[in-house]
């Protein structure tokens, strides 16, 4: 039996295919292949860089689907299904929007694969796939399951090993797909299994792809103490409340942490309160958010710098208390603090989140509330009507933030921080290598269309039309 694993691309540039220069190993497909019985021939194709050989014989196609890749995933699935090959989809999108995915797949898996994938494979062998499999959430890769990293070879991924320490996050930010998927829970792997996985691969640079590496401070500390002797360097994603815990900060440094993606989201405490960004309130010693967000961030950023951490500051723009002026302030704040990288994400309504439900009830969703499938939706465009600006103005303001951030002058200016980027050759190399690359990627991706074809594949993709009228309200055409 052969299983073909597929990582779909987001879409295409206006006149050519889009090749993701910063592509990373598709860890979920490596884990799935690692869970697959050894007698099965596993193939992996990454639509971000290579053609998918639709006509090669295969018995099952397994596609990982995120909201940004859903449209393309459905196109790929249709090609295989036209050839009579069954398709199973799993990942965030099938979990959050199962009914939509079921229209394009023979079977879907919701939740984690670890405790259900063997059933799917056994049913596929017998030609008796069920429509829906519910994977229980729990300890990731339990029993020491190793991802099949051999399948990643030769595909030009960035030279950094992706790995999990934990999954999920205890916070409940209202826009986040993670808190819905994991229901605000966090699952930690056994320390010795992670250490064995590190030893089992040959890189010294690891990206722990955790949703919040520091969701559970005590578990993280216990792991980091054991990680210190391995002398690796690592990056991850974590929440700002880490700066309240001096022991944790020390362990981050001692264990080789170079920096984390941190969700600052907004400088406005009323926005933070509305979106329920719990960890950012906790950076205040008094835990009273409603004064000046800037004060809290100043202290936290100083602590990060004092530990030489190169922060990837992530912002979501378009909250109800945002104005064009506050977005400009956000841009100034990030440049002023010389963060290593910054993500100026337009706030996106992900289906099944409280934020999506609120916008829906207020009639503020654009693209008929289905932006990820809409033929006109473009990457980094606003998909809802903000309170204090038009959707177009929000799109433009976010693009301006990216333009300012990625300009050669900004990259040069931000480099001059002796506490972070200039504190060691490794840090400077990371700064200089990745800043120009992310700048190119930001330019390429801005305004990119989703999927490769403008027409819906078959008649199954629900394409709807929309217009934004002068008062920035939405009217839908049937
Ligand atoms: C690492 C990461 C990245 C990396 C890229 C990784 C890569 N290989 O290319 C970077 C930082 C570059 C990135 C970029 C983006 N990301 Co990202 N990313 C993640 C993150 C944190 C971890 C992914 C991962 O490897 N997890 C480890 C694996 C093992 O877990 P998993 O993917 O969940 O898979 C398990 C199950 O879901 C299931 N499963 C998954 N696929 C399949 C398939 C089948 C067939 C089956 C049976 C089961 C199954 O089984 C697996 C094992 O249990 C996730 C959050 C998350 N928890 O997944 C966000 C996440 C996937 N990203 C997200 C987004 C939005 C983005 C961006 C669009 C952000 C932006 N605005 O630019 C971009 C572009 C994404 C793209 N497709 O190109 C969203 C997607 C939202 C959604 N509703 O779909 C997520 C969920 C984060 C979030 N907070 O919402 N990302």
Mutate-to-test residue for ligand 1 from 64, 209, 213, 214, highest number of ligand atoms within 8 A of CB:
209
Residue 13 pLDDT level (bands cut at 50, 70, 90): low
Q: How confident is the model over 19-34, as a mean pLDDT?
A: 94
**Nearest protein CA to atom 66 of ligand 1, as residue:** 68
Q: From ligand 1's centre to the CA of 469, what distance in Å? A: 34
Q: From ligand 1's centre to the CA of 127, what distance in Å? A: 29
Ligand 1 closest atom vs CA 114: 53
Those residues whose C-beta lies under 8 Å from the C-beta of residue 93, and which sit 6 or more positions away, are: 65, 66, 67, 69, 70, 73, 100, 101, 372
Ligand 1 closest atom vs CA 140: 53
Bigger pLDDT: 459 vs 350 = 350
**Nearest protein CA to atom 22 of ligand 1, as residue:** 209
**Nearest protein CA to atom 70 of ligand 1, as residue:** 345
The answer on pLDDT for 18 being more than 80 is: no
Q: From ligand 1's centre to the CA of 66, what distance in Å? A: 7
String of b and e for 432-459 (b: at least 16 CB within 10 Å)?
A: eebbeebbebbeebbebbbbbeeebbee
Ligand 1 closest atom vs CA 26: 8
Q: What is the model's pLDDT at position 280?
A: 87
Residue 476 pLDDT level (bands cut at 50, 70, 90): very low
Those residues whose C-beta lies under 8 Å from the C-beta of residue 122, and which sit 6 or more positions away, are: none
Those residues whose C-beta lies under 8 Å from the C-beta of residue 418, and which sit 6 or more positions away, are: none
Phi, psi of 274 (to 5 degrees): -65, -40
Using alpha carbons, list the distances in angstroms from residue 243 to 259, 271, 341: 13, 21, 19
DSSP labels, 5-63: EEE---EE-SSSB---TT----HHHHHHHHHS-TTSEEEEEETTTS---TTS--SEEEE
Phi, psi of 110 (to 5 degrees): -100, 150
Most distant CA atoms of the chain, gap in Å: 63
Coil, helix or strand for 344?
strand
Do residues 88 and 109 lie in contact, with contact meaning Cβ atoms separated by under 8 Å?
yes
Q: From ligand 1's centre to the CA of 164, what distance in Å? A: 12
Residue ranges with strand state E in 143-269: 161-163, 166-168, 186-188, 205-208, 233-238, 257-265
Q: Which CATH class is domain 149-361+389-444?
A: alpha beta
Q: From ligand 1's centre to the CA of 37, what distance in Å? A: 24
Q: What is the model's pLDDT at position 290?
A: 46
Mutate-to-test residue for ligand 1 from 92, 177, 279, highest number of ligand atoms within 8 A of CB:
92
In sequence order, the β-bridge partners of residue 167 are 187
Q: Give span(s): CATH 3.80.30.20, the chain.
A: 149-361+389-444
Q: From ligand 1's centre to the CA of 26, what distance in Å? A: 9
In sequence order, the β-bridge partners of residue 43 are 4
> What is the rounded distance in angstroms from the CA atom of residue 52 to the CA atom of residue 59?
15
User: 332: which DSSP letter?
Assistant: H
> 399-427, pLDDT tens digit by residue?
999 999 999 999 999 999 999 999 999 99
pLDDT above 90: percentage of residues in the chain: 84
Mutate-to-test residue for ligand 1 from 10, 18, 43, 66, highest number of ligand atoms within 8 A of CB:
66
pTM of the model: 0.93
Q: What is the model's pLDDT at position 432?
A: 96
Do residues 281 and 223 lie in contact, with contact meaning Cβ atoms separated by under 8 Å?
no
Question: No. of H helices and E strands in the chain?
Answer: 17, 18
Ligand 1 closest atom vs CA 112: 53
Q: From ligand 1's centre to the CA of 402, what distance in Å? A: 22
Give the side-chain half-sphere CA count within 13 A for 147: 22
- CA 306, 311, 317 angle in degrees (round to 5)? 130
Q: How confident is the model over 32-58, as a mean pLDDT?
A: 96
Ligand 1 closest atom vs CA 167: 57
String of b and e for 168-197 (b: at least 16 CB within 10 Å)?
A: bbebbbebbbbbbbbeeebbbbebebbbeb
**Nearest protein CA to atom 19 of ligand 1, as residue:** 209
Using alpha carbons, list the distances in angstroms from residue 150 to 33, 159, 291: 10, 14, 52
**Nearest protein CA to atom 3 of ligand 1, as residue:** 209
In the sheet where 2-7 sits, what is the strand order? Answer: 41-46, 2-7, 60-64, 87-90, 107-111, 132-135
Residue 477: Cβ within 10 Å count: 8
- The CATH code of domain 2-135 reads 3.40.50.280
Q: From ligand 1's centre to the CA of 475, what distance in Å? A: 32
Residue 242 pLDDT level (bands cut at 50, 70, 90): very high
Give the side-chain half-sphere CA count within 13 A for 400: 15
Phi, psi of 33 (to 5 degrees): -65, -35
Give the side-chain half-sphere CA count within 13 A for 465: 4
Do residues 349 and 365 lie in contact, with contact meaning Cβ atoms separated by under 8 Å?
yes
Q: Give span(s): CATH 3.40.50.280, the chain.
A: 2-135
The answer on pLDDT for 465 being more than 90 is: no
Q: From ligand 1's centre to the CA of 433, what distance in Å? A: 24
The answer on pLDDT for 206 being more than 70 is: yes
> 378-389, pLDDT tens digit by residue?
999 999 999 999
Residue 457 pLDDT level (bands cut at 50, 70, 90): very low
Q: From ligand 1's centre to the CA of 208, what distance in Å? A: 12
**Nearest protein CA to atom 1 of ligand 1, as residue:** 209
Q: What is the model's pLDDT at position 470?
A: 29
Q: Measuring from each residue's beta carbon to the nearest atom of ligand 1, which residues come in under 6 Å?
A: 10, 23-28, 31-32, 62-64, 66-69, 88-93, 96, 109, 112-114, 117, 162, 164, 167, 176-178, 209, 211, 345, 350
Q: What is the model's pLDDT at position 467?
A: 29
Q: What is the model's pLDDT at position 455?
A: 58
Q: How confident is the model over 184-201, as a mean pLDDT?
A: 96
């Amino acid at each position: 039996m052969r299983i073909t694993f597929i990582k779909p691309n987001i879409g295409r540039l206006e006149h050519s295919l889009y090749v993701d220069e910063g592509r990373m190993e598709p860890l979920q497909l490596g884990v799935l292949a690692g869970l697959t019985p050894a007698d099965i021939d596993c193939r992996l194709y990454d639509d971000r860089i290579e053609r998918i050989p639709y006509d090669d014989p295969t018995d099952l196609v397994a596609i990982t689907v995120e909201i940004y890749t859903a449209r393309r995933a459905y196109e790929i699935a249709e090609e295989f299904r036209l050839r009579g090959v069954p398709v199973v989809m799993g990942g965030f999108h099938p979990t959050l929007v199962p009914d939509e995915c079921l229209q394009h797949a023979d079977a879907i898996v919701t939740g984690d694969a670890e405790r259900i994938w063997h059933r799917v494979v056994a049913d596929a062998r017998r030609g008796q796939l069920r429509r829906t499999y519910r994977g229980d959430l729990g300890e990731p890769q339990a029993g020491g399951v190793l991802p099949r990293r051999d399948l990643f070879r030769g595909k030009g991924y960035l030279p950094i090993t992706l790995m999990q320490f934990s999954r999920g996050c205890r916070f409940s930010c209202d826009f986040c797909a993670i808190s819905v998927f994991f229901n605000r829970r966090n699952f930690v792997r056994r320390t010795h299994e992670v250490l064995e996985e590190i030893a089992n691969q040959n890189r010294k640079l690891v990206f722990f792809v955790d949703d919040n590496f520091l969701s559970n401070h005590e578990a993280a500390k216990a792991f980091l103490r054991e990680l210190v002797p391995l002398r690796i360097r690592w990056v991850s994603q974590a929440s700002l409340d880490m700066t309240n815990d001096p022991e944790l900060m020390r362990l981050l440094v001692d264990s080789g942490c170079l920096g984390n993606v941190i969700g600052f989201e907004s400088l406005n405490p009323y926005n933070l309160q509305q979106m329920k960004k719990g960890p950012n309130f906790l950076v205040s010693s008094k835990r009273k958010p409603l004064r000046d967000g800037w004060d809290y961030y100043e202290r936290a950023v100083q602590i990060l710098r004092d530990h030489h951490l190169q922060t990837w500051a992530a912002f979501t723009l378009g909250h109800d208390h945002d104005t064009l002026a506050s977005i400009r302030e956000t841009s100034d704040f990030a440049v002023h603090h010389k963060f290593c990288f910054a993500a100026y994400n337009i706030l996106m309504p992900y289906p099944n989140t409280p934020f999506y439900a609120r916008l829906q009830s207020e009639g503020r969703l654009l693209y008929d509330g289905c932006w990820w499938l809409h033929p006109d939706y473009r990457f980094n465009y606003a998909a809802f009507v903000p309170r204090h600006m038009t959707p177009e103005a929000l799109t433009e303001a976010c693009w301006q933030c990216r333009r300012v951030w990625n300009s050669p002058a900004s990259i040069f200016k931000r480099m001059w921080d002796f506490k972070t980027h200039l504190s060691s050759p490794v840090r400077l190399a990371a700064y200089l290598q990745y800043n120009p690359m992310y700048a190119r990627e930001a330019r390429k991706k801005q305004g990119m269309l989703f999927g490769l074809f403008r027409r819906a594949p078959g008649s199954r993709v629900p394409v709807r039309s929309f217009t934004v009228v002068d008062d920035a309200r939405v009217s839908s055409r049937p």
